Structure 1
Amino acid sequence: MLNLLMPPSSYREEDRSWWLNDVRSLQGALRNHARLTGTQTADVAIIGGGFTGMWSALALLDRHPKLRITVLDAFRCGEGASSRNGGKAHGYWSSLGRLSQQLGASAALATARLGDKAQDQLRSFCTSSGRDCWWQESGNLAISTAASQDYKIAEAVAVAARMGVADSVVALSQDEMVQHIKAPLFRGGLLYREGATVHPARVAHYLRAEIQARGCAIYEDTQIAAITPTENGAVLHSANGQLTAGKVILTTNFALSSLAHLRPHLTNFSSYATMSRPAPEALRGHGWLGSVGAADLRMFLHYFRKAGDRVLMGAGSGPIGFGQALQAERLRQDKPSLRRPANALQRLLPGFSTQDIERSWGWPIDVTADRLPYAARLKGQNIFYGGGFSGHGVNPTLIIGQCLASLVTGQDDEWTRSPFCQRKMPSLPPEPLRFIGGSAVRWGIMSCENDEEDGHSPNMAARFCAALPRLTGMSIGLR
């Protein structure tokens, strides 16, 4: 029997994102589906009704329209990480250098091109008639805000040229950056034309409606506590019922650490975001007239985008989790982490102040040792799983949905042959070294990046802690 972890409640008001509050205005957005009761059956059961689970359901139906698919969520489909992110949609062109080092040039290019394919499918879904997902496609900026980040601009351009995809990125001088957004700290950067922005909770809302319209059974407020594998599939057990399925897909995000063989390869961090009040004058003052998205070139980056006349600022620098303690308050309500995006908004875009903040929130994220998601099958069982988005999920969840659908249906295609399914995942140190070491690295990198942005030289302790991943040969935490 496989026991599953209980994820944190997505219903707590203090954890609710601005996106979730906004989506309540849509018809049917507040009505939950019934709990699983009695004894039910399905061809495929999907545990976890976020982006990954719902994209998996649609991809399966595209392949086999008559499949009986059931999607189960412990709370409400699409109200976990899927509705609490920054809503920035892009693939892997901005990660080409890192991927080529980890996977080789050919696999890195294949990964980036699958991101393009996913972006096309995401665009098609979000812009279909009747879906107001706030899709805006003007590219994504990667901005240097300190002299120590400048080398990354030339490096990214050189990597793209060397790999024959020079048109995937454009270097911007400080004067050219002003044409997109002007701010005192912006020194220049890169423009990746693939980037788009969406309203993530609206995407989740329309996905939920689509899988229902195409015949999926949906059970919400249904925590699956355990799975019993059988010769022909598995039996899912909840408090009020059970479901027998021929095949099972686990898309429970950070709760996938319940799988013992995955624990060496995963850790849980947290990401925090802030949404401003409407501020059209501040946006005009910064010359931010288009819809381009942006992020700085830190390792623990700040990501930001417009949402109408508002700005969302996020920081992928929340506390690290310890083991399987998914309910830890520091992963959702860490006060310094709640303040960090608001402070970054004022520092990076000084036309805004901390008084302009409407809402801030945090949520756990699952991070793999190489920062690339995965899809796989439990050895010898009809149980499949996918996750590991490492804070980058709007586009990659669709990729993993396609991978899982192909794995479940036994297809040999570009999805199952990709590094998402085929690579050997590196490992992290065991607990408590993972937590202690990860916390030290986080402190060191954040200290170095703060000092460098302020024009100061980081102290020796911070430099040493920041260098630990490189010194120990790890792929995560590299500056």
Structure 2
Amino acid sequence: MDIGTAKKAPFWWDAVDAKVTRPALGGDTEVDVAIIGAGFTGLWTAYYLLEHNPSLRVAVLEKHHVGFGASGRNGGWCHAEYPLGVGTLAKEHGTAEAIRFMRALYDSVDQVGKVTELEGIDCHYAKGGVLTLARSEVQMSRVAAEIEEARHLGIGEADLKQLSAGEAREMLNATGILGGTWHPHGAAIQPALLVHGLASACERRGAVIYEDSGVEHVSSNRVETRHGAVTATMVVRATEGFTSDLPGLKRTMVPLYSLMVATEPLSEAMWNELGLHTRPTFGDFRNLIIYGQRTADGRFAFGGRGAPYYFGSSTDPKNDIHDGVHAELVRVLHELFPQLADITITHRWGGALGAPRDWRPSVSVDRRAGLAWGGGYVGDGVNTAHLAGQTLADLVLERQTDLVTLPWIQHEWKSWEPEPLRFVGINAGLWMAKAADRSEERRGKPSQWAAIGNWMRGKTR
């Protein structure tokens, strides 16, 4: 498996018109709600605003094209998970509130599926759940800890099941499996098809999407672009990994890069040997995250962390490609599935996800300033952005629903450190996560490097 001939673009984009196809803003205008960013957060917000109030004037301003950011590049995991785990939610907000939040995420996965069916969006939605493998005794100890925590919080086997080695291997025939977990609250999707289909659904409901309309300044009830300004009763910021590009927000959220590869389609005989028959998404319990899915056309789409943080929160397109990290992803894929040794890698790409200093996603509104925002998903954004969009719509419209009292509402993010401390700390934390995995593989014991590295990257529980 060589990366040399792989196309340097998201595999998902082959199925859509991944370029600017809509006009830019054509001068000053006035609307009820202006949304910055045509990714999942922004588009779901527009969708639910217009579902609840079809007469609203809603404009979406996108710097590039629909789905340019993480929404069109991710691993296609529409799953119910919180970046720091349900246990952290319980410690900070109490068990009842933690479970209420998780139930909202569970419902959100199903609601995404319902909307795709209602709107005729064929994004290859397959609710096969989420499989997490344990491939060492250290990883098995993490399985035990996760199950113990879940049971303590009242999460039963129906929502998180521990798997024996045989049960896990029956789902996915990877090497070295000792056990794992599976939960049903996840679906594999084709993210570019979803985000483009969602954009069309918003337009059918009356939203106007302006592409090639990067926002240069945001103030109360007003956004400015090089093509003109938009005045709005409410401005919604839905910029996630590109938040640091906006004036005054350089330290609010950092762009962390996650990279992916896709293989050529595999034969049915090979899939009969490998599994993933119901298309569960999969990963394992290592420190440096990996993630994958079986695509609808029979490929592996596989990704992971490991890319460096770039100085000054850079989101330069050249950051999407990293030969060393892409080669390492292929090595890990081959380690998991030696049968793929002669399979061609057809695509390789990357993209920026958004990470606040404390790794806690949030949805917030400042009515006096006429501003609302959502994000900070740290890679768990496909489903969480849907819940955020539902919630932002309710907040903007002042609807009194259960969503507007969930424990992530109005969370205040701490600022990231200034450079060069940010650069040194995040990359040192990344190095420590890699070192922890090497140490655990060599010594067979949990490594303290992981905890130190998580703290330096902001991932504290």
TM-score of the pair, normalised by structure 1? 0.87
Identity of paired residues, percent? 27
Other structure's SS at 2:338 match: coil
Partner SS state of residue 244, structure 2 = helix
Take 1:365 and 1:425, find their aligned partners in 2: how far apart are those partners? 16
Q: What is the CA–CA distance in structure 2 between the aligned matches of 1:81 and 1:471, rounded to whole Å? A: 24
Query: Structure 2 vs 1, CA of residues 319 and 183 (structure 1 numbering), >3 Å: closer, same or farther?
Result: same
Q: 1 CA distance for matches of 2:307 and 2:194?
A: 25
Q: Return the offset for 1:141.
A: 0.5
Task: Please give the secondary structure, in 1, of the residue aligned with 2:215.
Answer: coil
Distance 2:77 2:199 in 1: 20
1:7 aligns to what? Answer: none
Question: Is 1:250 matched with 2:243?
Answer: no
Say which SS state the counterpart of residue 395 (structure 1) adopts. helix
Sort the Cα spacing of 1:411 and 1:131 in 2 relative to 1 into closer, same or farther, 3 A. Answer: closer
Residue matched to 1:58: 47
Q: What is the 5 A alignment of 1:353-432?
A: 353=341, 355-378=343-366, 380-426=368-414, 428-432=416-420
Question: Structure 1 regions of 5+ residues with no counterpart?
Answer: 1-12
Change (3 A) 1:43 1:427: closer
- 1:118 aligned to 108, 114, 135, which one? 108
Quick one: distance in 1 between partners of 2:134 and 2:345? 24
Letter in 2 for 1:84: R
Q: CA deviation at 1:102?
A: 4.3
After TM superposition, the structure 1 = structure 2 runs for residues 206-221 of structure 1, keeping only pairs within 5 Å, are: 206-221=197-212
Q: Deviations 1:352-394 (Å, cap 9, x if unpaired)? A: 1274211110111111233332122347310212111101111
2:240 alignment partner AA = N
Which residue does the alignment assign to 1:191?
182
Of the candidates 187, 190, 194, which is equivalent to residue 203 of structure 1?
A: 194
Match of 1:99 among 81, 89, 114: 89
Which residue identity lines up with residue 158 of structure 1 in the other structure? E
Supply the distance in 1 between the matched residues of 2:278 and 2:241 (Cα, whole angstroms). 34
* 2:258 paired residue among 266, 271, 277: 271
- Map of 1:71 onto structure 2: 60
Q: Distance in 2 between matches of 1:288 and 1:470?
A: 31
- Name structure 2 gaps, 5 residues minimum: 1-5
Match for residue 3 of structure 2?
none
Task: Select which of 306, 309, 312 maps to 1:317.
Answer: 306
Q: 1:184, 1:238 → 2: CA distance?
A: 52
**Relative contact order higher in (CA < 8 Å, ≥ 6 apart):** 2
Q: CA deviation at 1:241?
A: 2.3
User: Matched residues in 2 for 1:394 and 1:334: separation?
Assistant: 24
Report the Cα distance in structure 1 between the residues aligned to 2:449 and 2:142, rounded to whole angstroms. 21
Report the CA distance between 1:144 and its aligned residue.
0.9
Residue 351 (structure 1) aligns with:
339
Cα deviation, residue 321, structure 1: 3.1
Q: Shift of the alpha carbon at 1:106?
A: 2.4
For residues 146 and 222 of structure 1, the distance between their equivalents in structure 2, rounded to whole angstroms, comes to: 49
1:32-54 residue CA offsets vs partner (Å, 9 max, x unmatched): 11111122221111111111100
In the alignment, is the contact (CA less than 8 A) between 2:67 and 2:195 conserved in 1?
Answer: yes
TM-score scaled to structure 2, two decimals?
Answer: 0.90
Please provide the CA RMSD for this pair. 2.6
Indicate conservation of the 8 Å contact 2:20/2:64, yes or no: no
- Once the two structures are TM-superposed, the CA of residue 424 in structure 1 deviates from its matched residue by 4.2
Paired position in structure 2 for 1:17: 10
